[in-house]
Structure 1
Amino acid sequence: MTFSQDLLTRAQPIMDAIMIHPFVQAIAKGEVPNDVLNYYVEQDEHYLKDYLQVTALTVTKTSHSDDIARLLETAQFVSNESKAHEVMLTITGHHVENWRRSPETQLYTDHMYTSAYHGTYADAIATLLPCAWSYGVIGSELVAQGANNDANPLKEWIEIYAPQTDDGVDYNAWRFDALERAVSQFNDNQKEHVAQTFLKSLEMEWRFWEAAWKQTQWQFKF
């Protein structure tokens, strides 16, 4: 079993929890409360800016030309991800107001920066990968369920995240290939550190959905 295969096996319980999360299930039904959508978009605006910066930092950690090209493609996709936000804001009529970062958003982005700044290239890839991978799984499974029907106001949002292919190759495949190469010379302890980085980011994905669903805020004003 490869490192990536083992990682995906370990990740499956978290991914299963994401798929049955009330927010994701509400997306499938097209019945997400407006305040949940607004909170999600506001926090995702913060998150994606940091995701772009961590992606740029990751580029500096590799000399692999194909990985660099793919990371730059990722940055372009993230830059255009406002389209997904527009789908949600069209439903609610909300305009982005740059709300304060929620505790979970701060926790997630701090984790990404720490992994990318202080870790290896493998750590940087591992901290970024769960976002793209989990959204690909969500998009794929919701399409398979027929959730992207014309009656669903979030149809376009679902389809934005359905797996993208390039000549029949899974859009996320290169990420796992890059991670596999990056850990090829690592010992078991180093590989486990990378695995923990990945799994923590994936749990942060679950927490991001949960925070939006429950409208999590800081307990005190400061």
Structure 2
Amino acid sequence: MKFTDYIWQEALPVYEKIQSHPFNQELKEGTLPVEKFKFYIYQDSLYLADFAKALALAGTRANSSQELLDFLQFAQNAILVERALHISYFKEYDIAFDGGKAPGCFAYTNYLLATSAYGSYEVAVAALLPCFWIYKRVGDYIYANQKSPNPYQNWIDAYAGEDFAKSVEKALAICDSLAENASESTKIKMTEAYLTASRLEYVFWDSAYRLEAWEV
């Protein structure tokens, strides 16, 4: 069994909760309230800015020049997606550029940045993987089961598209390659990092659905 197959099974209950979450179910049906989608898009733009930094940080610790290039490309893609959100969704939905990170976004981005800066390269790669893999799985699920026409079609198409699929496959291959040469203790830490980031993926969607705000 490949390492990524193993960690997918370990985190499968988390993914199933993400897939069945009202945010994704209502997005699939096209019934998600616009204010919740707007909240999500704004938080996603903040997330992607830090995700790009975490990817670049991890890349600087790569074991090969090819993996460095891969992670820098991942980071560039995240920045391009963030800019596209600003150009399209922010204009279409009249989203304000203020408010800052909600608690869920704050927790997730800070975990990724800290892990990429202070964890091992192997652990950083595992922590960054859910944003690729879970989004791809959710995008594919929604694309295959959506009600049409859907007001959120552009978002659905982006995460079910071939370009994103290629990035996901590359990230999976890097993670498997690292695990093959890792010690058992490192693989345990990689699994824990993948699980933690997967849980934070759930927190991020739940935060958007609840329009989460700081209580104090």
Q: TM-score, normalized by length of structure 2?
A: 0.90
Pair 204,85 (structure 1): closer, same or farther in 2 beyond 3 Å: farther
Q: Which of 156, 159, 165 lines up with 2:157 in the alignment? A: 159
Deviation at 1:35, TM superposition (A): 1.8
Equivalent residue, structure 2, for 1:215: 211
Cα separation, 1, equivalents of 2:35 and 2:49? 22
Match of 1:41 in 2: 41
Q: 2:142 and 2:24 mapped to 1: Cα distance?
A: 9
The structural deviation recorded for 1:165 is: 5.2
Q: SS in structure 2 opposite 1:208? A: helix
Alignment partners' CA distance in 2, 1:84 and 1:153: 15
Q: Deviations over 1:114-143 (max 9, x none)?
A: 211111111111111101111111111112
Question: Equivalent residue of 1:128, what SS?
Answer: helix
Aligned to 1:172, the other structure's residue is in SS state helix
Alpha carbons of structure 1 residues 39 and 165: separation in structure 2 relative to 1, 3 Å: closer
Deviation at 1:68, TM superposition (A): 2.4
Task: After superposition, give the CA deviation of every residue in 1:141-185 in whole Å (9 maximum; x if it has no partner).
Answer: 1122244x3x1111111000014259xx85412212211222333
Structure 2: gaps of 5 or more residues: none
After superposition, the Cα gap between the structure-2 partners of 1:104 and 1:146, relative to the gap in structure 1 and judged at 3 Å, is closer
Does the Cα contact within 8 Å between 2:142 and 2:156 map onto a contact in 1?
Answer: yes
- Structure 1: gaps spanning 5 or more residues: none
Report the residue type matching 1:62 in the other structure.
A
What is the root-mean-square deviation in Å for CA atoms of aligned residues? 2.0
* 1:23–1:209 Cα contact (<8 Å) kept: yes
How many positions carry a matched residue from both structures? 215
Which amino acid letter does the alignment assign opposite residue 160 of structure 2?
A
Q: Please list the CA deviations of residues 87-132 of structure 1 after superposition, one character each: whole Å capped at 9, or x if unmatched.
A: 54455x3233231211111111111112111111111111111011
Cα separation, partners in 2 of 1:89 and 1:31, compared to 1, 3 Å: farther
Are 2:130 and 1:134 equivalent residues in the alignment?
Answer: no
Residue of structure 1 in register with 2:24 after alignment: 24
**Structure 1 Cα separation of the partners of residues 144 and 207 of structure 2:** 26
- Aligned equivalents of 2:53, 2:137: Cα separation in 1: 24
1:194 to 177, 190, 194: 190
Retained in 2: the 8 A contact 1:37–1:88?
A: no
Distance 2:212 2:49 in 1: 20
8 Å CA contact 1:122, 1:179 repeated in 2? yes
- Higher helix share goes to which structure? 2
What is the CA–CA distance in structure 1 between the aligned matches of 2:85 and 2:141, rounded to whole Å?
18
Measured at CA, do residues 12 and 86 of structure 1 come closer, stay the same or move farther in structure 2, by a change above 3 Å?
A: farther
Letter in 1 for 2:191: A
Partner Cα separation in structure 1 for residue 140 and residue 162 of structure 2: 10
Q: Which amino acid aligns with 1:94?
A: D
Report how far residue 8 of structure 1 moved: 0.9
Q: CA deviation at 1:16?
A: 1.1
Q: Deviations over 1:28-80 (max 9, x none)?
A: 11122122122112211221111011111011111423322322222232122
Query: In structure 2, do the counterparts of structure 1 residues 145 and 84 end up closer, same or farther at CA, with 3 Å as the change threshold?
Result: farther
